[in-house]
Structure 1
Amino acid sequence: MNYRCDHVHLRSKDAVAAANFYVETLGAREIRRDGSPVVSRVTVDLGGLTLFIEQAAEAIGPSVEPPHLGIEHIGLAVDDIEATMVELRRRNVTIVSGITDVRPGLRVIFIDGPDAVRIELLQRSDVRLGFR
């Protein structure tokens, strides 16, 4: 069997607003909107990862605080972690942890996205392992 990533499916209290966060804050590209006149799903390309952001029913409650079972976070690579931190602050994004040096060659930031989605932004620079 050969498996490959097709998409990640998120549920949101406001699918359009959540999609706008990924587009405006993280540089995603909106691919399409489904549903008319009420949008039921927005699909975005987030650095090569397809996100289906579905409008959730009113009865669906919020996620529990991390850490929890299930998908823990979405990880996105960046070239310059310091410039990323400056941009996140300028956009008033909720920063969960500042820049953390996990180990030589790996620096990370965690932020909160819409609907309690935790997002890790990481810069790899361990040349010995072929990362940039």
Structure 2
Amino acid sequence: MTTRLEHINISVPDARATAEVLGTLFGWETRWEGDTPGKGYSVHVGTGDSYIALYSPGHAMSDHRPKKYTQYGGLNHIGLTVDDLDAAEAKVRAAGYMPHLHADYEPGRRFYFDGPDGVEYEIVSYA
């Protein structure tokens, strides 16, 4: 049996706006978007193999964000691979986000940045 990750689903204030940023940064396309039960809206942005489902509920939500790495089941970061880490970092900086936690390790190099809606992304290259 082969298993692969197809998608993750996260709640954001504005699914369309976040999808636009992620599409610009990573060259992703919107795979699907539309209304969801309860007057919410969802945008699936990514590649043909995997995507992030961005969900904006049709009601007010708490903006309390637990600290990362402090609770079970919390979202710590989303890891993405790229072919050219330097080019990816330049795009992230040009979009106004500040890369941090740069590291070279076996088998690759990486950096992190806090993107739209406070979600942290790890960008790694194995090239």
Shorter-chain TM-score category? Answer: 0.7 to 0.9
Aligned position for 1:23: 23
Using a 3 Å threshold, how does the CA distance of structure 1 residues 47 and 98 change in structure 2: closer, same or farther? farther
Aligned position for 1:53: 54
Q: Which digits, 9 at most, give the CA deviation of each residue in 1:49-80, with x for residues without a partner?
A: 22111113313324223233323211111122
**Any residues of structure 2 matched to 1:24-103 within 5 Å, and which?**
24-35=24-35, 40-46=41-47, 48-56=49-57, 57-69=59-71, 70-95=74-99, 97=100, 99-101=102-104, 103=105
The one-letter amino acid paired with 1:80 is D
Aligned position for 1:129: none
Corresponding pairs, count: 122
Q: CA–CA distance in 2 between the matches of 1:65 and 1:59?
A: 17
When normalised by structure 2's length, the TM-score is 0.79
User: Structure 2: 5+ residue runs without aligned partners?
Assistant: none
Return the offset for 1:47: 7.3
- Percent identical: 24
Q: RMSD of aligned C-alpha atoms? A: 2.4
When normalised by structure 1's length, the TM-score is 0.76
The one-letter amino acid paired with 2:61 is A
Using a 3 Å threshold, how does the CA distance of structure 1 residues 4 and 92 change in structure 2: closer, same or farther? same
User: Structure 1: 5+ residue runs without aligned partners?
Assistant: 125-131
- Answer with 1 or 2: which has the greater Rg: 1
Question: For the Cα contact (< 8 Å) 1:33–1:41, is it kept in 2?
Answer: yes
